[in-house]
Chain A
Amino acid sequence: MKDIGLVTDLYRSELSRFERQVAGTTPAWMQQLRQAAGARFADLGFPTTHHEEWTHTDVTSIVEIPFTPAGRRPDIAKAELESVVSWVGPVHQLTFVNGHFSSSLSSLKLLPHGVIAESLADSCTIVPNLLEPHLGRYAQHKDHAFVALNTAFLKDGAFIYLPPKMVVEEPILVMFVSCPNGKATISHPRVLIVAGPSSRAAVLESYVGLKDDLYFTNAVTELVLGEEAELDHHLLQQESQAAYHIATLAVHQGRRSRFTSHSLAIGSALDRSEVRALLADEGITCTLRGVYAATGRQHVDIHTRIEHAKPRCMSQQLYKGILSGHASGVFNGRILVRQDAHKTDARQTNNNLLLSEHAAIHTTPQLEIFADDVKCTHGATVGQLDRDVLFYLRSRGIDLENARRLMTHVFGGELIRLITHEMIRNRFTELLSQWTSHTYSESLTA
């Protein structure tokens, strides 16, 4: 393995080149934020498996591959790109190619007056006062090298702002497409969503790659919900099979706000996705539901951390994993209940389906409770397809292979069914169904 220090130096020289490029184009506070994060990254360096949060996820490959910043213009036919980004039809959509905003692939005509959904770089010039109080405040770069690295390269991304009481019925899409053009590239997608008091909206954040391209997506999303705001967040990780995907979703919830997250992760060679939610006031509801499916030699790692800081909040986590081939998975769910947070109701469930004897999952709940009078439950299961159910299906004429495929789909589909937005639900269902069909046809030919 290369000397981590040297690699960090490489990133530092990229960073100083980047700083020279953007000098003077962003506000002073953003520059300070970048510099602080850059310095922090230099101190932290990349995590190794000796780091307790990274025991089961080895990022050596990310360190060893010389990723270079992704160019603005991909060498790819527009039609091909459109086929990837335009499955949803006419909706509010922000599209980024290799981390750069693409206005030609975006469409935002239908948004109600007062709602902002645009390139973060644009907002920075037009409404810096809406960004400054939030950007970099929730996703902490102090203890997280990848967040620090993302923040150090912060310039563009997606910014969504919902004024108080604003309701947007149609989901807003934020899509990050990577097409690295033959070189191993890195991009640092950044999203900030500010939901004003009593606003309501749905967002789909999607990461998609083409073919077997090699690249590294290092994403950070920050979400802040004002009092009684309601946000349905959806996350789709469909990176190329060779890609690396590291992402942190940081959520800050205000009084009586309701946050729901649905995620589906099927792509990338290595996926480390973290969700950190701070339930900062009373009467909050936070629901996280996720399906992760991996096959071949894919590795998927879900880390959640829900912090109950105040009384009478409710959090629910339900994650389901499907692992086939030689795939490995990690689920680490942490619930932190602070001393003041009495009447907390926190639940966590992680169910895993292993389709092959070579697939593996490490599942760990971590409960840290400092308050009395709380209700915290957690449960994890690891299992195979139910033989009785398989027989029942076969006794109705469905062959064993199809019965397995159906049951696998159903296992994950149970969570996807709970998505209320039809267009997103159908898309997730379709992708999971394709994944299961593909996985079974692969295992047949293997």
Chain B
Amino acid sequence: MPDPILEIRDLHAATAGKEILRGLNLTVRAGEVQAIMGPNASGKSTLAYVLAGREGYEVTAGTVRYEGKDLLIMPPEERAREGLFLAFQYPIEIPGMTTLHFLKAALNTIRKHRGLEELDAIDFLALVKERAHLLDVDADFLNRPVNAGFSGGEKKRNEILQMAFLDPKLAILDETDSGLDIDALKIVARGVNVMRSQDRAMLLITHYQRLLNFVVPDYVHVLLNGRIVKSGGKELALTVEERGYGWLEEPHARISEEKTAP
């Protein structure tokens, strides 16, 4: 069995003074695709942000090891350079910076960190086009400002393209499937399937199981009230789809103000 890429032990995290994650455990190994499902406010996005190192999320207890190293002491850029990638649930718009410029700055920083030469304009463009083609994404948005004026689907496609481009060891997709029509969903799924490899781990965070119609995960976990309450194979996703999350609730642990999915 390969060494774990990600090992989360008893993770507690809070944002805005409120504890969201309450003792989360998870191990992800190279080659695996794991899905984390959960209703609104279960802690899905908090987990994604804690792993990526966003400000405003405070880890109060527990450890996260990434390739054996302490992830939590690394600034966000170092995590990215070490191969962690977060596809944002709400990708940020950067008016004034072209997608091409953005990708180039990111890629060359990461290449430098890996001891590779920076790509010149021509090689860079060739690589972008190759990846765009691989994912069946139209490359015409490259000259548009990053995500500015993009539709929801276009933004998510841009995230997938960035993932393919930066070649991460651990990709975390935070509700990348939310709000997509079936065509956009297929593009995202294609991206995940194309990128799936023995050297890479992927963590799909999702509210619905429909992405899992196109991507077959190795494991499915259900996150509820900041804790993983159930783990299983791909069939768990179907059970959740059928029965919702209610049957997994521990009545004594349920926080009244938290909303559960229908």
A89 within 8 A of B: no
- CB-CB under 8 A from A388, the residues of chain B are 92
Supply 10 A–B pairs (Cβ within 8 Å), ascending by A.
A387-B55, A393-B102, A395-B85, A396-B162, A397-B110, A400-B77, A402-B105, A402-B109, A410-B95, A417-B96
Bound-state CA distance A387–B102 (Å) is 17
Task: Write the nearest CB–CB distance from A43 to chain B, whole angstroms.
Answer: 47
- CB-CB under 8 A from A413, the residues of chain B are 96-97
Contact of B75 among A387, A400, A406, A417 (CB under 8 A): A400
Bound-state CA distance A388–B94 (Å) is 10
Report how many residues on chain B are interfacial, defined by Cβ distance under 8 Å: 27
Task: Write the nearest CB–CB distance from B126 to chain A, whole angstroms.
Answer: 20
Tell me the chain B residues, 71-111 only, with Cβ under 8 Å from chain A: 75-77, 79-81, 85-86, 88, 91-92, 94-97, 102, 105-106, 109-110
Task: Write the nearest CB–CB distance from A236 to chain B, whole angstroms.
Answer: 20
- CB-CB under 8 A from A397, the residues of chain B are 77, 80-81, 106, 109-110, 113, 166
A170 within 8 A of B: no
A-to-B contact residues, CB < 8 Å: 387-389, 391-400, 402-403, 406-407, 410-411, 413-414, 417
Bound-state CA distance A398–B75 (Å) is 11
Task: Write the nearest CB–CB distance from B259 to chain A, whole angstroms.
Answer: 24
- CB-CB under 8 A from A389, the residues of chain B are 92, 94
Bound-state CA distance A296–B166 (Å) is 38
In contact, B106 and A398 (Cβ under 8 angstroms): yes
- CB-CB under 8 A from A392, the residues of chain B are 88, 91-92, 94
B-to-A contact residues, CB < 8 Å: 52-55, 75-77, 79-81, 85-86, 88, 91-92, 94-97, 102, 105-106, 109-110, 113, 162, 166
- CB-CB under 8 A from B95, the residues of chain A are 410, 414
Most buried by A among B52, B88, B92: B92
Most buried by A among B52, B77, B91, B94: B77
- CB-CB under 8 A from B102, the residues of chain A are 393, 396
Contact of A406 among B54, B77, B85, B105 (CB under 8 A): B105
Q: Quick one: given A388-B92, A411-B96, A414-B96, are A394 and B105 in contact (CB under 8 Å)?
A: no
Bound-state CA distance A329–B249 (Å) is 58
Task: Write the nearest CB–CB distance from A430 to chain B, whole angstroms.
Answer: 14
Bound-state CA distance A411–B93 (Å) is 13
In contact, A391 and B54 (Cβ under 8 angstroms): yes
Bound-state CA distance A419–B139 (Å) is 25
- CB-CB under 8 A from A398, the residues of chain B are 77, 105-106, 109
Task: Write the nearest CB–CB distance from A433 to chain B, whole angstroms.
Answer: 12
Q: Which residue of A lies closest to B112 (CB)?
A: A397
Q: Which residue of B lies closest to A403 (CB)?
A: B77
Q: Which residue of A lies closest to B162 (CB)?
A: A396
**Besides A396-B80, A402-B109, 4 new A-B residue pairs in contact (Cβ under 8 A), listed by A number:** A388-B92, A397-B80, A410-B94, A411-B96
Bound-state CA distance A414–B98 (Å) is 10
Bound-state CA distance A269–B77 (Å) is 37
- CB-CB under 8 A from B106, the residues of chain A are 393, 396-398
Task: Write the nearest CB–CB distance from A428 to chain B, whole angstroms.
Answer: 14
In contact, A394 and B80 (Cβ under 8 angstroms): yes
Q: Which residue of A lies closest to B84 (CB)?
A: A395
In contact, A406 and B76 (Cβ under 8 angstroms): no
Instruction: List 3 tightest A-B contacts by C-beta distance, closest first.
Output: A414-B96, A396-B106, A397-B80
Q: Quick one: given A391-B54, A392-B88, are A399 and B96 in contact (CB under 8 Å)?
A: no
Most buried by A among B80, B95, B96: B96
Bound-state CA distance A410–B110 (Å) is 21
In contact, B97 and A406 (Cβ under 8 angstroms): yes
Task: Write the nearest CB–CB distance from B168 to chain A, whole angstroms.
Answer: 10
- CB-CB under 8 A from A403, the residues of chain B are 77
Task: Write the nearest CB–CB distance from B36 to chain A, whole angstroms.
Answer: 19
- CB-CB under 8 A from B54, the residues of chain A are 391, 395
Bound-state CA distance A399–B113 (Å) is 12
Bound-state CA distance A114–B153 (Å) is 56
Bound-state CA distance A396–B113 (Å) is 12
- CB-CB under 8 A from A406, the residues of chain B are 97, 105
Task: Write the nearest CB–CB distance from B61 to chain A, whole angstroms.
Answer: 24
Task: Write the nearest CB–CB distance from A446 to chain B, whole angstroms.
Answer: 22
- CB-CB under 8 A from A399, the residues of chain B are 75, 77, 109
- CB-CB under 8 A from A407, the residues of chain B are 94, 97
- CB-CB under 8 A from B55, the residues of chain A are 387, 391
Contact of A395 among B86, B94, B113 (CB under 8 A): B86
- CB-CB under 8 A from B105, the residues of chain A are 393, 396, 398, 402, 406
Task: Write the nearest CB–CB distance from A407 to chain B, whole angstroms.
Answer: 8
Task: Write the nearest CB–CB distance from A379 to chain B, whole angstroms.
Answer: 16
Task: Write the nearest CB–CB distance from B132 to chain A, whole angstroms.
Answer: 17
Bound-state CA distance A396–B79 (Å) is 9
Most buried by B among A391, A402, A411: A391
Bound-state CA distance A87–B110 (Å) is 34
In contact, A396 and B97 (Cβ under 8 angstroms): no
Q: Quick one: given A411-B96, A414-B95, are A391 and B76 in contact (CB under 8 Å)?
A: yes
Q: Which residue of A lies closest to B147 (CB)?
A: A392
Q: Which residue of A lies closest to B165 (CB)?
A: A396
Bound-state CA distance A417–B96 (Å) is 8
Q: Which residue of B lies closest to A399 (CB)?
A: B77
In contact, B96 and A410 (Cβ under 8 angstroms): yes
Q: Which residue of A lies closest to B81 (CB)?
A: A397
Contact of A394 among B75, B88, B97 (CB under 8 A): B75
Most buried by B among A389, A397, A403, A407: A397
Task: Write the nearest CB–CB distance from A399 to chain B, whole angstroms.
Answer: 5
Q: Which residue of A lies closest to B86 (CB)?
A: A395
Task: Write the nearest CB–CB distance from A394 to chain B, whole angstroms.
Answer: 4
In contact, B76 and A394 (Cβ under 8 angstroms): yes
Task: Write the nearest CB–CB distance from A37 to chain B, whole angstroms.
Answer: 43
- CB-CB under 8 A from B75, the residues of chain A are 394, 399-400
- CB-CB under 8 A from A400, the residues of chain B are 75, 77
Bound-state CA distance A397–B162 (Å) is 12
In contact, A394 and B96 (Cβ under 8 angstroms): no
